[in-house]
Structure 1
Amino acid sequence: MPRRPVAVLGECVADAFADSSAGHRPGELALRVLPGGGPANTAVALARLGTPTRFLGRISADPFGALFRQHLRGSGVGLDACVNAAEPSTLAIATFDPQGQAHYSFHAEGTADWAWTAGELAALPLADVDCLHTGSLALVREPGGPRIEELIEELPGRAGGRPTVSVDPNVRPLLVAPAVYRARLPRWCAAADVLRLSADDLGLLLPGVSPEDACDTWHRAGVPLVVITLGDRGALASLDGRRLAVPAPPTTVVDTIGAGDSFTGGLLHHLGQLGRLGSGLDRLTLDEVGEACRFAARVAALTCSVAGPNPPWPADLQAAEPQAAELHENGRPGPA
């Protein structure tokens, strides 16, 4: 039976990196621009892995928008439901610390990604999807964020049950104060079935709180499945309070851009393969959560092994299996 699509609602971002290899003249800064943005990265990961994926975004008509469309289509993501936006694209300029962790400065005022109207959102094709994934800046920035909140709360059901709702807060404190996320997160948890976030997100949302206690807090708010990725310590998954730890696969890290987004894509892809999206989530077991998280960790590790937000294809996963075995013998884990 053909699988129903996963819809991903959120932003595309032009990720710019200083390019020291370019032959530019003194006094110039050369930037290499790659298509990114947390939701777009997740859509790419899902589609490359083989999940029918529909991206729901407001994509600009500027040159960055053309880059986004080429990248998403080339990865197999459906764009028919995207809004052709008059506003410019969002730009993020990344720098790296010695561990390959990216830090961003954003140019995001008045850009296309947050300008959702109620009419645009009402027109999105959601009645046939098994899952709607959203989050990141599109869920928290005005004016579109509150409208997306209302959408996931009022998501129409379909024959066989309501689509699974997945949320990744992806906290960006340079653009939105963490206090804003803290105030709105209980509302997201009440509407969501899956909450995936990073250790950095946890530190900003619940400073000083352990991952286990944070999971319990968010379960009480209503979300049944919480997965916290912990970098090179792997991930913690909690299904209604029953928990398991998943180690990070060994890998050589180039950078961590898009690793969490790829993890989310891998997680949702594998849950879909198990028949656990949509109404099937009610039958989800902890063993299945562990299986899905281990797969997602492999997807994230491969994303870390290349530059930029470049999730793997199935052939990359197959080719990496013997390399992973060799790295395991050398004891070099990488972040998930």
Structure 2
Amino acid sequence: MSPIQVAVLGECVADAFPSGSPELGELALRVLPGGGPANTAVALARLGSPTRFVGRISRDVFGALFHGRFHASGVDVTGCVSAAEPSTLAVATLDGAGQAGYSFHAEGTADWQWTAAELTPDRLGAAACVHTGSLALVRSPGGERIEELLATVRDRMTVSIDPNVRAGLVDPAVYLRRMPRWCALADVVKLSDDDLRHLDSGRSLEEACDAWHAAGVRLAVVTRGAQGAVVSVDGARVRVPAPSIEVVDTVGAGDSFTAGLLHHLGEHGLLGGRLGALDLDRAVEAAAFAARVAALTCSVPGADPPWARELAAAEPVRAPARVAR
């Protein structure tokens, strides 16, 4: 494998999709490998970015499922810990628009149990960028240790964070309290509009982006589903439209967007520092590419991001429109 471009640090989650008739006393679960960071690592590798996943993977049957997916997608797992604790399980339900909601079974599971001896910079290798977020960044004791690691490596790696708020499991106040610290560590912050409602309900999108920039973030992106995404570089903003597609479900769409964004930045030599060469036009190009990756993920069931060859055959997104300040 080529030198690692992106190291993704976080959790694997077994996503269970129920079927059957509970009223008849029967329910079946179809389990697919998931978890925001794991999905992002898989999407990056399928796009062609040399990617390492760093996580604590259980030795249970779900752990074997995760390893199989990583291997098939070309993800380097040499930075992972083989863990005795069980895997995290999320039971998903889909509404009429394909939007997923989750109930989590996460107490005492492998993903959050990082020790100081386990989580050292060498697990990331010589990556140009480290991406993290989701539950791994807020569940103790691992979340605090991940923050400490980011502070250690940010002098040589671009830091990307996706909070991916899970309000059903973690009080949004925890994310809100830690957000200033994350912005001080991160060069890239990507959130969904749902995340924004939890974290900055009293501020407009523009005000929230400006606050993140003031804390140290160079590139902020807020995804808005079918309305596309807003890209903000040092306070200059552009709206990037979403491709028109038939949505099967939205599982993993945000993770695929993050992967597309980082892949495009890496392909253009922008990762590996504080994004000093990034300007608004380049950020918009990266977000437009990311929107196409996310759209293809929404066109198939589950978190099944596209391969580069599939993306090459897809229709390009139309030109972005400027957002008035």
Q: Indicate which of 123, 144, 147 corresponds to 2:145.
A: 147
- Matched letter for residue 271 of structure 1: L
For residues 208 and 112 of structure 2, what CA distance do their matches in structure 1 show? 28
For residues 168 and 279 of structure 1, what CA distance do their matches in structure 2 show? 18
Q: Does 1:189 pair with 2:183?
A: yes
What's the TM-score once normalised by structure 2's chain length?
Answer: 0.94
- Matched letter for residue 268 of structure 2: L
Change in CA separation of 1:69 and 1:13 when aligned onto 2, cut-off 3 Å: same
Aligned structure 1 segments of 4 or more residues deviating by more than 4 angstroms: none
- Matched letter for residue 250 of structure 2: T
- Matched letter for residue 304 of structure 2: N
List aligned pairs for 1:22-171, cutoff 5 A: 26-122=24-120, 124-155=122-153, 157=155, 162-171=156-165
Q: Does 1:227 pair with 2:226?
A: no
Task: Specify the alignment match of 1:242 in structure 2.
Answer: 236
Change in CA separation of 1:280 and 1:274 when aligned onto 2, cut-off 3 Å: farther
What's the TM-score once normalised by structure 1's chain length?
Answer: 0.91
Structural RMSD (CA): 1.8
Change in CA separation of 1:215 and 1:25 when aligned onto 2, cut-off 3 Å: closer
Displacement of 1:279: 3.0
Kindly provide the CA deviation profile for residues 3-57 of structure 1, in whole angstroms up to 9, marking residues without a partner as x.
642100000000000134x9x9941210000000000000000000000000000
How many percent identity over aligned positions?
65
For residues 314 and 237 of structure 2, what CA distance do their matches in structure 1 show? 28
Task: Specify the alignment match of 2:323 in structure 1.
Answer: none
Find the residue that maps to 1:279 and give its secondary structure.
Answer: coil
Question: Paired residues, what number?
Answer: 317
In the alignment, is the contact (CA less than 8 A) between 2:88 and 2:109 conserved in 1? yes
For residues 77 and 15 of structure 1, what CA distance do their matches in structure 2 show? 19
Change in CA separation of 1:236 and 1:3 when aligned onto 2, cut-off 3 Å: farther
Displacement of 1:304: 0.3
Kindly provide the CA deviation profile for residues 236-265 of structure 1, in whole angstroms up to 9, marking residues without a partner as x.
010111111100011100000000000000
Task: Specify the alignment match of 2:321 in structure 1.
Answer: none
For residues 40 and 298 of structure 1, what CA distance do their matches in structure 2 show? 19
For residues 164 and 252 of structure 1, what CA distance do their matches in structure 2 show? 34
Kindly provide the CA deviation profile for residues 256-284 of structure 1, in whole angstroms up to 9, marking residues without a partner as x.
00000000000000000010001372111
Displacement of 1:125: 2.9
Q: Does 1:272 pair with 2:266?
A: yes
For residues 264 and 299 of structure 2, what CA distance do their matches in structure 1 show? 21
Gap regions ≥5 residues in structure 1? 329-336
For residues 78 and 284 of structure 1, what CA distance do their matches in structure 2 show? 28
Gap regions ≥5 residues in structure 2? 319-325
